[in-house]
Each structure stands twice: as C-alpha cells, then as structure tokens.
Structure 1
C-alpha cells in the first residue's frame, strides 16, 4: 500500500516539472514588439538665402542746428515750444526792437541831411565850373570846390551804408528757421538779455536716423547704400546706410554708422536716445539651411536624420541664421532631416515617416 502511494506522488511531481518546463520554454520563445516612432522628414538640399547682421541701434538726432541772433538785445518773444514741429521760414523768436528802430530813424535823418548837403555841393561846383570857363574863377578855387563836393559825397555814401546796416540790424531782431524740423531745446526765457551769436533755440531736422556701432568685420562688409530694416517697439521702418566712420570709437572700438530712414516711423515713436532693433542686409550665403526648431542640444548641437527606417543622430555646427532657418555644417544634400517627432527619438530607433515634405 505504501509503495503505491509513493509511486503516485513521484508521477505527479514529474508531470508538474514537465508542465513548468514547457511553460518556461514557451515564455522564452516570445520576443517583445520593437517600439516604432512616427516622424516627419524633409529632404535636405543646398540653398542660397539672404542673410543680415543684427544690431541694437539708437535713435539719433540727425542734423542739429543752433539758432542765434546776430545782434545783442532783450528777448521779447519766443514763438515756439519745445518738441513743436517747425517749417522753413517760420518765425522762432524776436528781440525788443525799440532801440534798433530809434537808431534806424536817426540814421535815416542823417542820410537825408547828407544827401541835401551833397546836392548843394554838387550845384555849387557846377556853378564854379561855369565861372571858371569865363575866367571869373581861379583853378585853385575850383579845385577846392571839387574837394568839398567829394567829401560831402563820401559822407552821403557813408550815411547810406549806415542806414542799410541799421535796417539789417532791425531785421536781425527776428529769428527764422531755415529748415523744417522739431524744436529740441530753448535755451533762454523772454526778458533775458542776449549777446550776439549765443544759441537761443535748437532745431533738429525732420530726417529720421538710427545710429549703430559696427564691429570691424561687419563694417568691412557694409557699404554706403546698404539696406536696413528697423524695429522700434511695434513700428517698422526701412532705410539705408549714409555714413560709416573710418576711425573706430576710442571706447567701444566699433565704427559708428548712420542709417537714414526712407520709410519712417511715426513721430510719436521717434524718441531721441531710444533703442531700435536694426537688421543690415549682408548679401546671400549658399549652404545647408535647416529649420532652427529641428536642432537639439545635449551639450552639442545635433539633429536626427532617417536612414533605412532608423533614426541616426548627427552632430552639427551652427552658422548664420535668417528668420527661422540656420545654416549648418555636418549634413549633406539628400539627408532626410527629422523636423517633427525628434524629441521622442534615440539613436537607432525604428521610425515610420508619417509625412514627407520639401524645405
């Protein structure tokens, strides 16, 4: 009886071992499914794109002109305000005319007297000439009459010059703009006494200019007439380079460059000294251009390309950028660049191209 019981147990153990071994064998024979990622690719080709140089510029004042009176006097009136737009031949300020008007009136009286005295001397000389012809007057007396007439003619001419000078002085009590622009400063107040030649009002021209400091390399690539785009806040302008200094700034070692706007920004946004984003045209560059969004970095810049349905990681070097594209080294024409889905990839991962397009 005991033998039968042991035999049955042994048989059960053997059968259980066989079953477990069979299950283990079946589990070992099953391979897990390989992960496949969908990606979007674009074929790479050589392209030529316009490139630009980016700088931070400063809104400049353009041409500044300091207006002053040619004559001294008391400032009687200022006809403009700071920040106001002015036109050519617009009256800016006036001096008190009282003293100048009196001086002119006195000079005119002197002229009238000198004119009469000269006229009398001419008549007298003409009479003496007739007497001299008849032998009734000596040549010596005639010469004295001629000298007297010449002196009085000279005095008359001086009086004419004096009147003209006084008229000019009276005219110079009015200060006019000789160009259109904007008042940037008023240096005196009404009632103050001014010396001749001292600036009273400062006006800048209407021309809008942006100033940038180019480094040596970019200055060498820039010429007069180079086109530029300007961004001031939400406003965009366009212009061209009108001046490049030939000597660098002693402090910044950059070359001061002036850009005159041909497409201007609104006057309310043109604040002298404010900053502006400047993009200077630098010609075209041929090479491999790819979307910046396709570039990743793990300490080095790299992208993924697809070869034989596998993701292949390629390190690249970034060069110039233009808009949303960048020129790179490390790729070749014909490579299929992954532009979407690359963040889920790793080297050698199998991929399926869900969408293909050209650059």
Structure 2
C-alpha cells in the first residue's frame, strides 16, 4: 500500500513538470528589432598619406657675395613681392655704373655717326689742312735751300737727308688732313655707322647684364607661402647658385602611393576625403605621376586639401579616394552572428527566421552584406534565447 502511494505521488509530480515545461516552450521570447533599408554610400580606396606643400621653392643668388640683410624669419608667412634677403651690393653698384657710362658714351658716338659731320667738325678739318699745308710749304722751302747748299758742299749729307725726311713727313700729314676733310665733307660712311651701332649695342647689353646682377642681389618672393628654412646667416659669403632660403607654398596637399591596380580606378579630379588630426576635409586628386617610385613601385598621387589651415609638413593623413557609389544593406558588425557561417535572425509573422548572409565589404564599422531584403526586420537583441522558427515578440 505504501509503495503504491509513493508511485502515485511521483506520477503526479512528473505530470506537473511536463505541464510547466510546455507552458515555458509556448511562451514567446522577447526581442528587439530594427528595420534594414537599402543605402547608397561612397565606395573608396583608403590610404595613409603625407602632408606636403604643393610647391617648395629654393631661392639662390646669381652672383656670389656677402649676405648683408635677412628680412624674414623661419616659419613666417610671406606674400608675393616681399623682399627676403639681400647681398652687399656696393661692388655691383660700381660695376653697374661703369657699364652705364660706357653705354652712354657708345650711344653718343652712334648718334654722332647718324647725324653726320657738324659745322664745327668741318671747320676743324679745314684748319688742320691749313696747318698741314703751311708745315709742308715750310718743309719744301727748307729742303730746296738745303739741297742747294749740299750741292755746293756747304752742308753735310746728313743735314740734306734730314731736310728730305721732314718734307716727306709734312707731305703725308698734308695728304692725311685733306683725306679727313674730304670724309668730313662727304659725311659718315655706312660701315662706320654700323660699327658705332654694334659698339653701342654691345655696351648696352653689358650694362643690362650688370644691372640684372645688381637687381638679383635682392631676393624677392614670388609665391604666397611660409619660410621653411634659411640656410645662411648675415655676414656669410654666399656662393652663386647655392640655395639660400626655402619657401613652401600655402597650398598644401596630401600625397599617397597608389598600387598599379588602384591607379587605374582613379584619375585627376577624383574626389577625396582627407582626415588630419581627427578633422575631415574635402579635396581632389590634382596629379598622378605616370612613372612608379623606384623603391616602392607605387604611383604618387597628389590630393588638394580644401582648407586654409596650415599643417606641419610630414604630418600623417588618412585619405579616402571616392571611386563611386554602392547601393546595399549595411549592418553594424556586432549584429552579425556566426556558427561557421555568417547569419542573422529576422522577424517574420511572430517567428525568428534565420538568414545566412555574405559579407561583401567592411566600410568603417559597418559590413556591406548580401542575403537580406529592403525593409526586413532584423533582430538585434535577444538572439541568445531563440533559434530558427522560435516564437518571438518585440519588446
């Protein structure tokens, strides 16, 4: 009898447990959902870039000299037309003035050749002829008198030869003065004008060269930028042609090294996002080198940065080169489950439905996936308590 009562009690207990278990299994699990939609997002290539100036200019002097004055400081903002440095120009000033005097003198001779003989020139030539004629007449008279005396034995042969030489000299000087007078009366010859012109042009070119060296002994900035470095101090001797000061343009760029495959996906004008110090700026590709870097075998791309803010040269930038648009469903990465396959649960007619998905790409902290449809209701919380086909209810 006692054994029967024990068995009956056990049966009643197991029956109660079974009913309790059935009630639990029929109870809907509470879940949280979101509606997923097709999104249009940028597709891009991501690179780490370096901040550079779009131009980096080295200034040097054309002539050597002592650095007299430095008018700027390293890091200073400079504008086009601003004076940077200057040599001691005292020696150059002397050379320039001497060259100008020579050019002026040559020009005077050229003008004189063009204008022809003046009245005073003709008068002077006539007076020279008269003087030469008088000297010749006197030399001729002396020669004749000396000849008679020589024939009579009254003078020596050396005295006769001396009188004869004096006559010959006087005759040549007379002929020369008459020739000058004739040329003066006839005017300047074309070849003399050409010669005077050539002399003037050569002298003027020398003056221009000296003036240019004088002016270039003052370095003037021809860009808007910043002084990157000054390589000499005042009082030092500066060799001709050696860089003295470096100026970087205010326009800054980010440079990246593109792989051969990626270089074919972008072009000049491709839009970009540039992140520097956690701040995002817009820009675009302005140049792509057509030959690869020998060390990295990448193609250097230059990307403009649309900001007036100054960055330190060499700063690191994150660069996203936008290659197009992509339509798809993007999920937060923690929403994706995995049991050897990537999957999620969606809510359909009060039940959890397992959907296997394919991850196509990772964009920032989201995954572009395939396997869901627009407006699917994605279960994002409570997935630990459900399986495919479970009864679920939204919180």
TM-score of the superposition, structure 1-length normalised? Answer: 0.79
* Residue in 2 that maps onto 1:95: 87
Per the alignment, residue 160 of structure 2 pairs with none
Displacement of 1:46 after TM fit?
4.4
1:111-148 CA distances to partner (integer Å, 9 max, x unpaired)? 4554566667778834578999xxx9559951896466
Look up the SS of the partner of 2:292 in the other structure. Answer: coil
C-alpha change, 1:139 and 1:318, in structure 2 (3 Å) is same
TM-superposed CA distance for 1:216, in Å, is 3.3
Match of 2:5 among 16, 19, 33: 16
- Secondary structure of 2:74's aligned partner: coil
Q: Out of 328, 335, 344, which is 1:287 matched to?
A: 328
Report the equivalent of 2:357: 316
1:210 aligns with 2:254: yes
Change (3 A) 1:96 1:328: same
In the TM superposition, 1:42-191 aligns within 5 A as: 42-114=34-106, 125-127=117-119, 141-142=182-183, 146=189, 151=195, 154-191=198-235
Shift of residue 275 of structure 1? 0.7
Contact 2:117–2:187 (CA under 8 A) maintained in structure 1:
no
Aligned to 2:367: 326
Match of 2:317 in 1: 276
Write out per-residue CA displacement over residues 4-55 of structure 1, whole angstroms, 9 at most, x where no aligned residue.
Answer: xxxxxxxx53663464355345346434212643222344454443323222
- Relative to structure 1, the CA distance from residue 225 to residue 156 in structure 2 (aligned partners, 3 Å threshold; closer, same or farther) is closer
The CA deviation at 1:102 is 1.6
- Runs of 5+ in structure 2 lacking a partner? 127-176
Provide the alpha-carbon RMSD of the alignment: 3.4
- Kindly tell me: are residues 19 and 48 of structure 1, through their superposed partners in 2, closer, same or farther at Cα, counting changes over 3 Å? same
User: Quick one: structure 1 residues 107 and 350, their matched pair in 2 at CA, closer, same or farther if it must change by over 3 Å?
Assistant: same
Q: CA-to-partner distance for each residue in 1:311-351, whole Å, 9 max, x for gaps? A: 34444222234455432123345643213333554555432
Question: How far, CA to CA, are the matches of 1:249 and 1:162 in structure 2?
Answer: 46
* 1:301 matched residue in structure 2: 342
Write the distance in 1 (CA, Å) between the matches of 2:384 and 2:10: 43
TM normalised by structure 2 equals 0.73
Shift of residue 107 of structure 1? 2.9
> Is the CA contact 1:50–1:322 (under 8 Å) kept in the aligned structure 2?
no
Q: Which structure 1 segments of 5+ residues have no match?
A: 1-11, 355-359
SS of match in other structure, 1:166: helix
> Which of 305, 309, 317 in structure 2 is aligned with 1:266?
309
Matched residue of 2:264: which SS?
helix
Q: 2:296 is paired with a residue of what secondary structure? A: coil
SS of the residue corresponding to residue 125 of structure 1 reads: coil
- Contact 1:184-1:203 at 8 Å conserved across structures: yes
Counterpart CA distance in 1 for 2:112 and 2:14 is 148
Does structure 1 conserve the Cα–Cα contact (< 8 Å) formed by 2:77 and 2:227?
Answer: yes
40-49 or 136-145: bigger deviation:
136-145
Aligned partners of 1:111 and 1:160 also within 8 Å? yes
Report if the CA contact (8 A) 2:84-2:221 is conserved.
Answer: yes
Of 187, 198, 205 in structure 1, the residue corresponding to residue 242 of structure 2 is 198
2:334 maps to 1:342: no
> Which structure has the bigger radius of gyration?
2
Aligned length: 337
Distance in 2, Cα, partners of 1:70 & 1:175: 10
Instruction: Judge conservation of contact 1:52–1:322 (CA < 8 Å) in 2.
Output: no
2:110 & 2:271 partners in 1: Cα distance? 69
Separation in 2 of the partners of 1:54 and 1:174?
46
Distance (Å, rounded) in 1 between the aligned partners of 2:296 and 2:76: 34
Distance 1:283 1:118, change over 3 A: closer
Change in 2 beyond 3 A, CA 1:300/1:81: farther
The verdict on how the C-alpha distance between 1:25 and 1:70 changes in structure 2, with shifts beyond 3 A counting, is closer
Contact 1:230–1:237 (CA<8 Å) still a contact in 2? yes
